[in-house]
């Protein structure tokens, strides 16, 4: 992971273990996807503890476009690395696709799963 990308991720103040998972996923994203997310000034990446947080963080809209947010529950800390990274890749795919499919006919969930798999993070066969 480049120093610049590392600095960019640090601004989100993620839990250290979640940060490591996010960094591992970002390192495998195609450059065009990474550039799309990093270049969006309104993009928000956050983690939160649902037992302690009173609200979920959201991004502010920017430059006439809807904001894009990826909010990860800290319960990922209790999951396998493969599952955590699949979830992160899946959610980043949603952000990249702006919560749509790649075509008007494609289901957004299937599109996010497909992109995550293309990036090397397939949905685990068995989720515990």
pLDDT, tens only, 54-95: 555 555 555 555 568 899 999 999 999 999 999 999 999 999
Three-state secondary structure string covering the chain: CCHHHHHHHHCCCCCHHHHHHHHHHHHHCCHHHHHHHHCCCCCEEEEECCCCCCCCCCCCCECCECCCEEEEEHHHHHCCHHHHHHHHHHHHHHHHHCCCCCCCCCCHHHHHHHHHHHCCCCCCCCCC
Q: Residue 5 has what pLDDT?
A: 85
Number of domains composing the chain: 1
Is residue 125 in a domain? no
pTM reported for the whole predicted model: 0.88
Residue 124, domain member (yes or no): no
Q: What is the pLDDT of residues 14-51, one digit of tens each?
A: 999 999 999 999 999 999 999 999 999 889 999 988 78
Do the domain assignments include residue 64?
A: yes
Could you list the residue range(s) of the whole structural domain that residue 65 is in?
A: 3-118
Q: Is residue 95 part of a domain?
A: yes
């Amino acid at each position: 992971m480049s120093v610049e990308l590392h600095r960019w991720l640090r601004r989100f103040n993620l839990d250290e273990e979640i940060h490591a998972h996010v960094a591992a996923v970002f390192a495998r994203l195609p450059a065009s996807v990474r550039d799309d997310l990093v270049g969006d000034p309104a993009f928000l990446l956050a983690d939160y503890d649902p037992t302690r947080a009173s609200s979920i963080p959201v991004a502010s809209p920017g430059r006439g476009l809807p904001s894009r947010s990826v909010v990860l529950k800290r319960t990922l800390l209790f999951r396998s690395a493969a599952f955590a990274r699949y979830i992160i890749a899946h959610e980043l795919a949603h952000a990249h696709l702006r919560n749509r499919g790649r075509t008007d006919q494609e289901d957004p969930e299937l599109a996010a799963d497909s992109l995550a798999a293309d990036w090397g993070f397939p949905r685990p066969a068995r989720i515990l």
